[in-house]
């Protein structure tokens, strides 16, 4: 069994998609459609930067999705891939869940781009710059991360945002609480705590205004039924019913990204081969979660050709 998986924020870089666009009409059409849907030349920012413009949450989120879907469209158009014949599940890390839903046909490409633009803006606006922060805990498990979060909170928000893999858990919350968590990490048996260069405290209760905005947006642009089950971040379980999918996407804004558990659940369901489209982030995480699982990251035309030779 096989799952196609999609990266989240942090996988963007200037030049992303340039080689695909130069080599494939299918990729160029994806970038043009996203530009038109957003009413901005996002593809130029992806291609040329500047980096600070691409890193803006409202640009990074649709850009990462566009890159992933461009890779998929090249696989479909030029490689003859039929997703429903070559995959059993799809999943994505945070914003990558929208990419997964787009790939599975629950959202159109244009609607996915617009929803992610709204999501990026809402998440950025939810907390004034400087009031929130995030940190990565290296060598932490869920129990030690939870203990640290509770010790550091002191009446402020300090919550587990991402359970990425056995070596990395991410905390999110008020800046003071995250600073305290970094200082207390070693006392809780955690090897290292690193402040993350983010502009807002994602996936914690401080994001409630953004969750409310996404409830409105998804009410106006609801998902359809996906052609494949989508493993949801907040439940680490497959979802196929449109109303449930919309509700889970709203919960995801403030909820924990249960990526480690999602991968283990897909493995339990029989998945042996994971294919990451448009990044090299979740593939390596999968390798750390289960060394027996096979994970390929597909970004270039050479990657696409190699994958199609293998799976046909």
Task: Say how far apart CA 67 and CA 89 lie, in whole Å.
Answer: 20
d(CA 178, CA 124): 18
Where in the sequence of the chain do the CATH 3.30.70.250 domains occur? Answer: 132-198
Q: Residue 209 burial (CB < 10 Å; 0-12/13-18/19+)?
A: middle
Dihedral pair phi/psi, residue 295, rounded to 5°: -135, 125
Query: Which residues of the chain are in CATH 3.40.366.10 domains?
Result: 2-126+206-311
pLDDT digits (tens, 9 = 90+) for 9-50: 888 899 999 999 999 999 999 999 999 999 999 999 999 999
Domain covering 132-198: architecture? 2-Layer Sandwich (3.30)
Q: Is the dihedral of CA 250, 253, 256, 261 positive or negative?
A: positive
Q: What are phi and psi of 257, to 5 degrees?
A: -85, 105
Lowest mean pLDDT among 75-84, 99-108, 251-260: 75-84
The residues annotated as belonging to the active site are: 94, 203
**Distance from C-alpha of 135 to C-alpha of 285, rounded to nearest angstrom:** 17
Residue 62, pLDDT score? 97
- Number of CB atoms found within 10 A of residue 210's CB: 24
Q: pTM, whole model, 2 decimals?
A: 0.96
Structural class in CATH, domain 2-126+206-311: alpha beta
- At 265, give phi and psi (nearest 5°): -70, -40
Asked if residue 233 has pLDDT above 90, the reply is yes
pLDDT band at 197; cut points 50, 70, 90: confident
What average pLDDT does the segment 290-302 reach? 95
């Amino acid at each position: 069994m096989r799952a196609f998986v999609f990266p989240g924020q942090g996988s963007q870089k200037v030049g992303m998609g340039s080689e695909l666009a130069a080599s494939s009409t299918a990729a160029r059409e994806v970038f043009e459609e996203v530009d038109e849907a957003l009413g901005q030349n996002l593809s130029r920012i992806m291609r040329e930067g500047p980096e600070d413009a691409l890193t803006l949450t409202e640009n990074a989120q649709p850009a990462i999705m566009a890159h992933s879907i461009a890779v998929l469209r090249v696989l479909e158009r030029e490689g003859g891939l039929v997703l429903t014949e070559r995959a059993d599940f799809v999943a994505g890390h945070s914003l990558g869940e929208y990419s997964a839903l787009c790939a599975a046909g629950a959202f159109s490409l244009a609607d996915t781009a617009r929803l992610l633009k709204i999501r990026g803006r809402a998440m950025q606006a939810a907390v004034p710059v400087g009031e929130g922060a995030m940190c990565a805990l290296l060598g932490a498990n869920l129990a030690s991360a939870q203990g640290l979060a509770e010790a550091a909170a002191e009446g402020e928000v300090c919550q587990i945002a991402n359970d990425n893999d056995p070596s990395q858990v991410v905390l999110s919350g008020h800046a003071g609480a995250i600073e305290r968590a970094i200082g207390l990490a070693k006392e809780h048996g955690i090897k290292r705590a690193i402040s993350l260069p983010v502009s807002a405290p994602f996936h914690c209760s401080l994001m409630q205004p953004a969750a409310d905005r996404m409830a409105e947006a998804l009410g106006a642009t609801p998902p359809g039924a996906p052609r494949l089950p989508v493993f949801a971040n907040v439940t680490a379980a497959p979802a196929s019913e449109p109303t449930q999918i919309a509700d889970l996407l709203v919960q995801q804004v403030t909820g924990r990204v249960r990526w480690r558990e999602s991968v283990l659940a897909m493995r339990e369901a029989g998945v042996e081969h994971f294919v990451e489209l448009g990044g090299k982030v979740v593939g390596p995480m999968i390798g750390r979660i289960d060394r027996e699982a096979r994970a390929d990251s597909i970004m270039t035309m050479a990657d696409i050709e190699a994958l199609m030779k293998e799976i046909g």
